[in-house]
Chains A and B, each alone.
Chain A
Amino acid sequence: MYVQLFFNHEQIRTMSRVKRRTTHPPYWHVLKNVQRGDEKISSDNLRFVREVIQDKYKNKSPIKGSDLDIEKTEWDPKTKRSGVIARNIGVQHMWEKDGKKVICTVLHVLDNHVIRYVPPEEYAKSIIGAKVFRNRKPLGCLVVGAEAANPDRFTKQYCSLFNEVGLLPKKRLARFIVTPNAALPPCTPLTAGHFVIGQAVDVYGKTIDYGFQGVVKRWGFKGGPASHGATKFHRRGGTIGTGRDKARVWPGQKMPGHMGSEKRFCRGLKIVRINMKYNVIYVKGTVPGPTNSIVQIFDTLLPRRKFTEAPPHPTYFPPEDGTLPQEDIWDSNLHVFGSPSISV
């Protein structure tokens, strides 16, 4: 580890003004959860409400690829495909064919459905779109939802977002920037088959919340000596500036504070195993966030690890006759558990 003799004060100063986390949703979001107290509703009325919900959302059979009218578009290396919302369900140890242990994160792809597609011209007029595509050619935006839930717990405005599609309201929504040739019609399901073994993905999630942490854990300071007469100086920061330069504390000075609970990327993680039956992806490495937290997965933007061959474009559809080609797909480098022991 090299010692930084001169801090890049400009960068530290600008980045320290960036808001790291909020506890409230953006102002353009509609109110999501119902704000009601103890509503005394009779059992008859409750049953009626359930019947109404069932009637509204019945006849939702799984959609086949042939039902949706998807234009036949070609994949090219500059295509940006949709991403997927998944839950980080834990960490499992696997072994490679030479006996080396590999720590893999297990990601469970929830029941994703496309809610709507916003074409590039329209998206560039929106608040976020205008900011992102100020000096670039605009791209489209796919709104994807995951984890269907009982409409009872959501407000009417939130449920109206799903009325067009006719789906049960989803607990979680996410936006994915896509090129127009990777656009998907509403109600398209996205599964683990959307990804390919061996490809690199970026995982975006909220990191573990450590709360208010001191300078040693938060910034990796060394603190002071544990003994040798050190009076009350074991885990403190020490000096916060020189006397000469500017004669003040620079903005962005590393100090104790809230650590974690920030949205971060883990880039270039390799997919080593896909289980099509349970919709589960095994990814080599760790992802941001604790177990059972929601993350977003999409194709990597690292230039050297991008696709060279066409992936399932615009997304994967299971074969029409209902037969799964392969339930559990493993990377060629990985040792399959049912196969004989490794002899090095």
Chain B
Amino acid sequence: MLRRAVLQTFRQGLAQSFFKRNAVSLSETTVTHQTVETSDEGGEKFVSTQKTGDESGNTVIVAPPEFRFMYPEFLPDPAMETRNRLKEKLERMDMLQRRSVIEIPEFYTGSVMAVTVSDANSPNKFARFVGICIQRGGSGLRAWFILRNVVEKQGVEILYEMYCPLIQKIEVLRLERRLDESLLYLRDALPEYSTFPLDMEPERRLNNLVVPINPLKVKLRPRPWLERWERQNLQGVEDLNLPQRFYDKAEKVAKPWEKYDLMLHYRKTIPAEEQEKIFAEVQSQLQQQELKRKMRRRRGSDNEQ
């Protein structure tokens, strides 16, 4: 069974096992498991459509579980006071419309990306920026991500709204993940960890099934820092070498019970059943768009030949 290796923190694994118990057992006991794979000259993977059977025996189309990591902005904000199913549905339709015009690729924090934006003030009318994605957030049409780079010894961060129509192109130059979900500590790290050449070429993926996790440990500059990194359980940072009193204070302020708080994590996430419904709604359109883009690319390469 084709599966993507995905970094699962304890929280994610716990939530998955707690709420996806039924769904996971169903998908593992499928009788018909069809994986659609196109001929891969470019070695690009086509996302598989799993057909699970529910209790009545009818086939129910279920999107693969990786969708919640590939397209996290399709999931709404979990706060119950502001949720409305109709509005979320309309927003998803608008998002798919925008995605039919421009390719918004799969990316994670730690991926190096290049974004071309239409800008009235720049000489060519288009501004291209290359950087590492240090944070991503927002849901729906408000989804955003921050790219960071060091240009002529000056650190620069730009926040891009993913669905803004001014964006002409989003390319992922290097698709990888890091050990943390948020790389804000790069602001206090040595500049070489945030520097990427502005004319960087897109790198070929070695393995299309797995998104590699870069186990890089970043060296921070000496204090003062922008945040108290010793209190944040960062995995991707080298040993901070601080006096013991910092770690003692961090222990006093820490909330070690939070990782056992199931209700807290339940309130912060959309339930698995709803996630499945949402992705089942959008997945056929997303797959069609993928197909069309691949055909266009192949036709383009054929024409060149």
Contact = CB atoms under 8 A, between A and B. Distances in A.
A56 to B, nearest CB: 29
A338 B82 contact: no
Contacts of B168: 341, 343
Nearest to A342: B165
Interface stretch (B96-104, B244-252, B275-283): B96-104
Contacts of A278: 86, 90
A335 B98 CA distance: 11
A2 interface: no
B110 interface: no
A101 interface: yes
B301 interface: no
Interface stretch (A5-13, A30-38, A91-99): A91-99
A290 B82 CA distance: 8
B165 A341 contact: yes
A106 interface: yes
A103 to B, nearest CB: 10
Report the contact-size class of chain A (Cβ under 8 Å from the partner).
Answer: 20 to 34
A292 to B, nearest CB: 6
A338 B100 contact: yes
Interface in B75-103: 81-84, 86-87, 90-91, 94-95, 97-98, 100-102
A192 to B, nearest CB: 13
Contact of A341 (B82, B83, B94, B101): B101
A280 to B, nearest CB: 7
Given A108-B86, A291-B84, A335-B165, A92 B101 contact: no
A99 B100 CA distance: 19
Contacts of B166: 95, 99, 341-342, 344
Contact of A89 (B84, B97, B101, B126): B84
Contacts of A93: 141-142, 161
Interface of A: 89-90, 92-95, 99, 101, 106, 108, 275, 278, 280, 290-292, 335-344
Contact of B118 (A90, A99, A291, A338): A99
Given A90-B87, A95-B166, A337-B165, 18 more contacts: A89-B86, A90-B82, A90-B84, A92-B140, A92-B141, A93-B141, A94-B141, A99-B166, A101-B161, A101-B164, A106-B90, A278-B86, A280-B86, A280-B90, A291-B84, A335-B165, A343-B168, A344-B120
Nearest to A96: B165
B167 A341 contact: yes
A136 to B, nearest CB: 40
Contacts of B102: 341
A337 B97 contact: yes
B120 to A, nearest CB: 4
A344 B101 CA distance: 17
Contacts of A95: 164-166
Given A92-B140, A337-B94, A342-B118, A99 B87 contact: no
B94 A290 contact: no
Given A92-B140, A106-B87, A340 B118 contact: no
B223 interface: no
A108 B88 CA distance: 12
A31 to B, nearest CB: 30
B125 interface: yes
A275 B90 contact: yes
25 contacts: A89-B87, A92-B87, A92-B94, A92-B141, A93-B142, A94-B141, A95-B164, A99-B118, A280-B90, A291-B81, A291-B82, A291-B83, A336-B97, A337-B95, A337-B165, A338-B101, A341-B165, A341-B167, A342-B165, A343-B118, A343-B125, A343-B168, A344-B118, A344-B120, A344-B125
B64 to A, nearest CB: 26
B97 to A, nearest CB: 4
A288 to B, nearest CB: 16
Contacts of B142: 93
Q: Which 5 A-B pairs have the closest CB atoms?
A: A337-B97, A89-B84, A89-B87, A90-B87, A338-B97
Contacts of B87: 89-90, 92, 106, 108
Contacts of A92: 87, 90-91, 94, 140-141
Most chain B CB atoms below 10 A, which of A335, A340, A341: A341
Contacts of B239: none
Interface string B118-141: 111000011000000000000011
Nearest to A90: B87
A33 to B, nearest CB: 23
